[in-house]
Amino acid sequence: MLQLLRKIAFPFSLVYALVVHLRNFFYDTGVFSSKTYKTPTLCVGNLSVGGTGKTPMIEFLIRLLDGHKVAVLSRGYKRQSKGFLLADANSSVLDLGDEPFQMHQKFPEIAVAVDTDRNNGILQLETQVKPEVILLDDAFQHRRVKPDFSILLTAYGQLYVDDWYLPTGNLRDSKREAKRANIIIVTKCPESLLEEERLRIVEKLKPLSHQTVLFSKLEYNTVLKGESMENLTISAIRDKKIALVTGIASPEPLVNYLKSLGLLFEHFEFGDHHNFSKKDVQLFKDYELILTTEKDYVRLNGKVKNLCYVEVAHSFSSKDQIFLEKTLKSLV
């Protein structure tokens, strides 16, 4: 039914495409202006709606920039606050949104801020925090800021070159805008990606002379995390009655990973950034163990007992990681 509705909506996707192309044309020709800043800015984003692993990539970059004064600026999607907000000890998931709150909890030593106005957010960070580098989360399409460096993510199996515009497809920006990226990272690759397949994808993406294509896979922590969990491994929960609860754009990789370990579970799938209600929680509250993603954990924590999450991170080949490390060091 969903696929049929998307096909019916094709005329609307043409209108959407026209608006996107006009907007980018106005920025390219200087009708709309983009601003640069004295603090180095590194943008991480995509051309599609969700599902490419932006938050784990920001976290990966934070780790690579260890030793530097890092700030993260996000829109704070679905937060209940307004304007600029710098996370502190009193901040909640409702104030920041799920992904910024997740990063704030995970990396309390760095500055995490939210603002729908990226220009104002950067100015506030430069005034209040004075970071050495600002990571712009999900900002590739926000052209009012011209970042010093851009990383574009595209998921293996859902490459932006094979996609179409919303609402028929998942593209929220033009494929041509990939030209603004310095690095294109193909995420969620299979465990063993042959060199021939890498070359085929690179040929399909057609990177420009200034662009480098890297490849990453998702790596899941076999030790579960949660306030009431202590050194509990995935293999140790096989005999429990488990509910897997997800509210992310693309839960398939996690589902497939858990199944590959022989885990049996009931999957309760919700939309991306879903705000779990009391009615939702009633659906799975009687399970022995509630398994979820890290992003969903911050929205579910305190609402249900026996809750834990599977931590996920990007993993690169040693060659690609060395290249990324050298590139980041040249920016800061």
What is the share, in percent, of the chain residues with pLDDT greater than 70?
A: 99
Q: Which amino acid is at 14?
A: L
Average pLDDT, the chain: 94
pLDDT at 51 over 90: no
Q: Average the pLDDT over 207-222 and give the result.
A: 96
Looking at domain 2-68+132-217+316-331, does it have CATH number 3.40.50? Answer: yes
pTM over 0.75: yes
| CATH 3.40.1440 holds for 234-310 | no
The answer, yes or no, to whether residue 230 has pLDDT greater than 80, is no
Tokens 């709150």 belong to residue: 101
Could you give phi then psi for residue 3, rounded to 5 degrees?
A: -65, -35
pLDDT, position 117:
97
Does residue 175 carry a pLDDT above 80? yes
Alpha helices in the chain (DSSP H): 2-8, 10-28, 54-64, 93-96, 98-106, 118-128, 195-205, 252-260, 278-284, 294-300, 318-331
Q: Domain ranges in the chain?
A: 2-68+132-217+316-331, 234-310
Per-residue pLDDT band for 2 (boundaries 50, 70, 90) equals low
Q: What is the mean pLDDT of residues 6-30?
A: 94
Q: How far apart are the first and last CA of the chain?
A: 49
Q: How far is CA 317 from the centre of its chain?
A: 20
Do domains 2-68+132-217+316-331 and 234-310 share one topology? The answer is: yes
pLDDT at 167 over 70: yes
Q: What is the pLDDT of residues 268-302, one digit of tens each?
A: 999 998 999 999 999 998 999 999 999 999 999 99
Closest to 174 measured CA to CA, from 68, 296, 310, 47: 47
249 CB contacts (<8 Å, ≥6 apart)? 49, 50, 51, 272
Tokens of 85: 């907000």
Is residue 4 over pLDDT 80?
Answer: no
